[in-house]
């Protein structure tokens, strides 16, 4: 069976529209704005096939072709905008609207009269650029990369490669030569693009589900107020780190932190101010540690930190950095600025020679000594690192 080009256009619009509607229905209520950009990209992808189908009927309708080209570029550009949004990067409207406007407007300036392929090199060039950028954004997504993000990167990279070859064949042979018309003509391109749209739509839906699942997992592993790991997740990840470090006897340290006079803060200023202090302290402490370190709200106003690979000396350096960071916090109250402080207990050892429970117990003993010694300081457990290190205001 041979389908004429108009029929292919209409089938493409029908399938694209159906995929787009299903995608938009599925993504309702999902948190990531990237999904909304991709939903708009689907709406843009419906229009070109319908416009091209109408323009193919009569010569005077060729003025519609540049608008179809503009929708193609807009759909491709919005894939990139959505991918950037997925990576928490904003995109200025001009970065994609200007290429769309040029794609629509330049053929009216350069071609008199308009032909079937007027503006095609500009269309193909922008599709190559935006599809390539969208694929790159998917690949540079922060770890751990979602599985369907890689699938989308592959699909969009294939789309960019197809249009790059199509543009090269167009410039080399011209639109009427079999070298272009057979592999890259409108019929072949409509089928190829339709396949990419179907793959992309399923992958986008699956990616949306992955995003929701990750959000649920994140919510289950984080403290709702401070954003730090919760105690259960910290314990699980810390025990895994200790087990891995035991293979080579790597050093490890645990810090236990407790805000000084926190009950007095709540009693004097109220729980809203107390919560603001907890949030500020958690943020300051999180900035004081490295990407491999684990940080949790251990309970109430108490926090715990695991420093894989850290010696006793390095643990004291990190603890003093945290003391300074907490002292730099200022929380506004009706009575003036409130500047909290914290006390820190440190336990250091070697993975495989100790366990998390023991280290936390030793850090808790050191924390008690730090509070008994005047607060706003860090103290270590054991003979080798029991020196008091005060950070006086």
Same domain, 213 and 264: no
Same domain, 22 and 163: yes
Whole-angstrom Cα distance, residue 277 to residue 297?
13
Q: What is the DSSP letter of 340?
A: -
- Position 75 in a domain: yes
Q: Which two tokens stand for residue 375?
A: 């607060």
Backbone phi, psi, residue 17, to 5°: -65, -45
Same domain, 189 and 216: yes
Whole-angstrom Cα distance, residue 91 to residue 132?
16
Mapped onto helix, strand or coil, the DSSP state of residue 346 is strand
Choose the final residue of a domain: 164, 199, 220.
220
Same domain, 85 and 34: yes
**Closest-CA residue to 9 (of 116, 74, 62, 17):** 17
Q: What does the pLDDT profile of the chain (393 residues) look like in tens digits? A: 455 788 888 888 888 888 777 777 776 766 577 878 888 888 888 889 889 888 888 888 889 999 999 999 999 999 999 999 888 889 999 999 999 999 999 999 988 888 889 999 999 999 999 999 999 998 887 666 678 888 899 999 999 999 999 999 999 999 999 999 999 988 889 888 888 888 888 888 787 777 777 777 777 888 889 989 999 999 999 999 999 888 888 899 999 999 999 999 998 999 999 999 999 999 998 899 988 899 999 989 999 999 999 999 999 999 999 999 999 999 998 888 999 999 999 999 988 778 899 999 999 999 999 999 899 999 997 644 444 443 333
On whether the pTM is more than 0.85, the answer is: no
- Position 156 in a domain: yes
- Render pLDDT for 306-334 as a digit per residue (tens, 0 to 9): 999 999 999 999 999 999 999 999 999 88
Residue 208, C-beta contacts closer than 8 angstroms, at least 6 positions apart: 26, 27, 30, 32, 35
- Render pLDDT for 72-82 as a digit per residue (tens, 0 to 9): 999 999 999 99
Same domain, 216 and 333: no
Same domain, 154 and 14: yes
Q: Which domain holds residue 38?
A: 5-220
Q: Which two tokens stand for residue 37?
A: 């950009």
Dihedral sign (CA 15, 20, 21, 27)? positive
Q: How far is CA 183 from CA 163, 166, 191, in A?
A: 11, 8, 11
Q: Which two tokens stand for residue 86?
A: 């997925």
CATH label of the domain that carries residue 188: 1.20.1070
- Report the pLDDT value the prediction gives residue 143, as an integer from 0 to 100: 60
Backbone phi, psi, residue 237, to 5°: -70, -35
DSSP letters of 152-188? HHHHHHHHHHHHHHHHHHHHHH-TTSHHHHHHHSHHH
Same domain, 304 and 328: yes
Whole-angstrom Cα distance, residue 265 to residue 241?
35
Same domain, 285 and 199: no
Residue 89, C-beta contacts closer than 8 angstroms, at least 6 positions apart: 137
Whole-angstrom Cα distance, residue 106 to residue 66?
9
The edge-to-edge listing of strands for the beta sheet with 342-350 is 294-299, 302-308, 251-259, 342-350, 377-380, 389-390
Inter-residue contact 379 to 388 (CB < 8 Å): yes
Q: What is the dihedral of CA 84, 89, 93, 95, to 10 degrees?
A: -70
- Position 225 in a domain: no
Q: How many domains does the chain have?
A: 2
Q: Which residues pair with 133 in a beta bridge?
A: none
- Report the pLDDT value the prediction gives residue 220, as an integer from 0 to 100: 80
Same domain, 247 and 317: yes
CATH label of the domain that carries residue 328: 3.30.70.270
Same domain, 90 and 134: yes
Same domain, 97 and 211: yes
Strands 251-259, 302-308: pairing kind: antiparallel
Whole-angstrom Cα distance, residue 195 to residue 133?
20
Half-sphere exposure for 385 (CA within 13 Å, toward CB) = 24
Helix residue spans in the chain (DSSP H): 5-26, 33-55, 65-86, 94-110, 120-139, 147-173, 178-184, 186-221, 231-245, 262-269, 271-287, 312-327, 356-372
DSSP letters of 93-111? THHHHHHHHHHHHHHHHH-
């Amino acid at each position: 069976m041979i389908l004429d080009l108009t029929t292919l256009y209409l089938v493409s619009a029908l399938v694209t529209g159906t995929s787009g509607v299903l995608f938009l229905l599925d993504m309702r209520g999902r948190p990531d704005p990237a999904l909304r950009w991709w939903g708009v990209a689907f709406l843009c992808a419906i229009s070109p096939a319908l416009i091209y189908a109408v323009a193919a009927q009569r010569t005077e309708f060729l003025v519609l072709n540049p608008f179809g080209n503009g929708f193609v570029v807009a759909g491709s550009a919005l894939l990139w905008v959505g991918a950037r949004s997925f990576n928490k990067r904003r995109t200025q409207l001009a970065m994609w609207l200007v290429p769309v406007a040029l794609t629509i407007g330049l053929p009216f300036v350069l071609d008199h009269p308009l032909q079937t392929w007027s503006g095609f090199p500009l269309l193909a060039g922008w599709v190559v650029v935006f599809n390539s950028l969208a694929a790159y954004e998917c690949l540079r997504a922060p770890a751990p990369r979602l599985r369907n993000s890689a699938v989308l990167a592959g699909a969009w990279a294939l789309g960019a490669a197809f249009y790059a070859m199509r543009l090269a064949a167009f410039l080399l042979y011209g639109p009427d030569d079999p070298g272009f018309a057979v592999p890259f003509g409108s019929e072949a391109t409509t089928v190829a693009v339709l396949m990419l749209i179907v793959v992309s739509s399923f992958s986008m839906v699956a990616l949306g589900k992955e995003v929701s699942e990750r959000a649920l997992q994140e919510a289950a592993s984080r403290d709702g107020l401070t954003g730090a790991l919760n105690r259960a997740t910290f314990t699980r990840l810390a025990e895994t780190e200790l087990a891995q470090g035991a293979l080579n006897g790597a050093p490890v340290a645990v810090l236990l932190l407790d805000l000084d006079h926190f009950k007095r803060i709540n009693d004097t200023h109220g729980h809203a101010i107390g919560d603001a202090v907890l949030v500020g302290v958690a943020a300051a402490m999180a900035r004081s540690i490295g990407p491999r370190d684990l940080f949790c709200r251990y309970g109430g106003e108490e926090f715990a930190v695991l420093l894989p690979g850290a010696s006793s000396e390095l643990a004291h350096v990190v603890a003093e950095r945290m003391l300074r960071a907490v002292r730099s916090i200022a929380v506004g109250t009706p009575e003036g600025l409130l500047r909290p402080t914290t006390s820190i207990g440190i336990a250091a050892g070697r993975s495989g020679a100790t366990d998390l429970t023991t280290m936390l117990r030793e850090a808790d003993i050191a924390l008690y000594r730090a509070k008994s010694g005047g607060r706003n300081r860090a103290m270590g457990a054991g003979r080798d690192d029991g020196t008091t290190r005060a950070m006086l205001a």
